[in-house]
Amino acid sequence: MQSLFYGENETMANSQKVQLKTMQDILTLYPEAFDAEGNINLSNRPEIIELPLNMEVVRDLNIDGCTGLRALPEGLVVGQRLNARGCTSLKSLPNNFELPGTLILSGCTGITELPVGLDVEGGIYLDGCISLRSIPNDTRFGEILELTGCEGIEIPQDLLQKYAGFIVVPEGDYTVAPSEYPEREFSA
């Protein structure tokens, strides 16, 4: 079975969708995507609908504008920054996803939730993620959590307290979820 998906008797030139199953598929189809510093740039490739499982990128992964991409694969490892700005079909990220740099998901209108255990050492940019409904209480970040344009989102009170001043809330409507650890009331 081929690693790439094409309709019957189609060639790559007129294909609509590409499922990348291995890093070799990326190298074969998009050799210019790799650079000497260990970055992979697959930006503005709407035909990509799937990336390889356990994909490892030494530094930055740029998938900006990959409007057909539906999910980031399990086992994804990115050494620095992940730019998925404008991936409008993107619905999910892997659970317990860790990133030593910045996560840019601006304009990812298909995302409705973030994964459990998201841990980003840099900033998380979710501006314009209009379908995002809530942020998990265990989300961790090192710089900023940008939520501009995420009207109607629910933000955990514990997260707002822990990162006071580092969360940019929507200008419009949002709700604060009650604390998971309410203070105990003691009776005398």
Per-residue pLDDT at 183: 57
Per-residue pLDDT at 10: 38
Residue 6 corresponds to which tokens in the numbers above? 């094409």
Per-residue pLDDT at 15: 54
Side chain identity at 127, as an amino acid letter?
D
Per-residue pLDDT at 9: 33
What is the chain's alpha carbon radius of gyration, rounded to the nearest angstrom?
A: 19
Per-residue pLDDT at 188: 45
Determine whether 118 is exposed, middle or buried from the number of CB atoms within 10 Å of its CB (0-12, 13-18, 19+): buried
Side chain identity at 4, as an amino acid letter?
L
Side chain identity at 46, as an amino acid letter?
P
Per-residue pLDDT at 185: 46
Q: Which long-range contacts (CB under 8 A, 24 or more apart) does 71-75 make?
A: 72/97
Q: What does the domain layout of the chain look like in residue ranges?
A: 38-177
Report DSSP letters for 65-112, one per residue: T-TT--BPPTT-EESS-EE-TT-TT--B--TT-EESS-EE-TT-TT--
pLDDT per residue as tens, the chain (188 positions)? 234 444 333 334 445 799 999 999 999 999 999 998 999 999 999 999 999 999 999 999 999 999 999 999 999 999 999 999 999 999 999 999 999 999 999 999 999 999 999 999 999 999 999 999 999 999 999 999 999 999 999 999 999 999 999 999 998 889 999 887 655 444 44
Backbone angles phi, psi at 67, to 5 degrees: -70, -15
Instruction: Sheet with 103-104: list strands edge to edge.
Output: 40-41, 61-62, 82-83, 103-104, 124-125, 145-146, 167-168
Per-residue pLDDT at 6: 41
Per the CB < 8 A criterion, the answer to whether 52 and 69 are in contact is no
